[in-house]
Amino acid sequence: MKMLEVAQATAFTDERSLIMLMVVLIAGIIRGFTGFGSALLAVPALATIYGPVEAVVIEVLIEIPVCLTLLHTAIKRSERQTILPMIAMFIVFVPIGALLLTITNPATIKVLISLFVLAALALIWQQPRVTRVFYPKFNYIVGAISGMTQGLTGMAGPLFATALIARGDSSTCTRANISALALAIIFLSVASFALVGLITKTLVLYAILASPAIMLGVWIGSFLFSRFGESKLRVVILYFLAFTALITLFETLFY
């Protein structure tokens, strides 16, 4: 028993764990500064360290405390008639994505993760133009695609956020709606991953270890945003995320 406990303790203090904490901290800073992007960094980076399935599960679990901080805003200010159609699609398609995560080849998942990050960054970069083609009647389609990609890659935010921004609501209302959908999709992901057997004791412990790092990162990022505003740092972050995705894609295809 003592040997097992020592082995487990070592597993959580090795180089990979330290790298994970650094990745999650930086992901939190990006999230706090830009309001998005933690998963766009954490998932491909952690996929290289632990594997894609483990990366997706860890990312979803560490988002729980972050999302809980948004609970009050989501409940008080979100518009149910706007978010419920997407949540209905999440309920159907997040479990389907989670099931695909269990049966798809890990190398294929890593490629899909990298490609989704690049597509999401392109969507964010061209958001002012893209929002012109998003109409409210597309919300069911956006919800379905977001649910599927969330279950399979742990990432969906840029897609449904763009759809909500396209509505032209006030920034307060839009932020509340995005927060509500983020809460819903994270907790549906946890339920779906538990249902298909992806959540293990080890991954929960990794998530507990990493949660303080992402919370600290979000605080640092929020502080930097309050000091410097949008600035050119946002552009640097987008390039950094693209670079990380390309590295993951290259490592998967050629090594």
Residue 184 lies in a domain: yes
Q: Is residue 20 part of a domain?
A: yes
Res 10 pLDDT > 70:
no
Q: Which residue has the higher pLDDT, 67 or 8?
A: 67
pLDDT score of 9: 47
From CA 150, how far away is CA 143, in angstroms rounded? 10
Please indicate, yes or no, if residue 5 is contained in any of the structural domains: no
Over residues 135-181, the pLDDT tens digits come to: 666 788 889 999 999 999 998 887 888 787 777 777 778 778 888 88
Q: What is the mean pLDDT of the chain?
A: 83
Place of tokens 């933690």: 38
**Does residue 219 lie in a domain region?**
yes
What's the pLDDT at 1? 43
The predicted model scores a pTM of 0.84
Asked if residue 190 lies in contact with residue 64, where contact means CB atoms within 8 angstroms, the answer is yes
User: Is 28 part of any domain?
Assistant: yes
Q: How confident is the model at residue 4 (pLDDT cuts 50, 70, 90)?
A: very low
Q: Is residue 42 a part of any domain in this protein?
A: yes
User: For residues 77 and 46, which has the higher predicted lDDT (pLDDT)?
Assistant: 46
Looking at residue 132, what is its pLDDT? 61
Sequential DSSP letters for 94-129: HHHHHHHHHHS-HHHHHHHHHHHHHHHHHHHHTHHH
- Which pLDDT value is given to residue 134? 61
Q: Does 7 map to a domain?
A: no
Specify the pLDDT at position 109: 92
Residue given tokens 């990979």 in the structure block: 16
Helices marked H in 2-79: 2-11, 15-34, 38-50, 52-68, 71-77
Residue 15: partners with Cβ closer than 8 Å, 6 or more residues away: none
Q: Rounded to whole angstroms, how far apart are CA atoms 102 and 209?
A: 24
Count of structural domains within the chain? 1
Average pLDDT on 19-29 reads 91
Question: How far does CA 254 lie from the centroid of its chain?
Answer: 26
Calpha distance 33→229 (Å, rounded): 8
Is 1 domain-assigned?
no
Parent domain of 113: 14-254
Instruction: Give the residue from 74, 81, 15 showing the smallest Cα distance to 49.
Output: 15
- What is the pLDDT confidence band of residue 241, given thresholds at 50, 70 and 90? confident
CB-based contact 41:30 (threshold 8 Å): yes
pLDDT of the residue at 185: 92
User: What does the alpha-carbon distance between residue 240 and residue 171 come to, in Å, rounded to a whole number?
Assistant: 27
pLDDT (tens digit, 9 = 90+) per residue, 78-129?
888 888 989 999 999 999 999 999 999 999 998 899 888 888 888 777 766 6
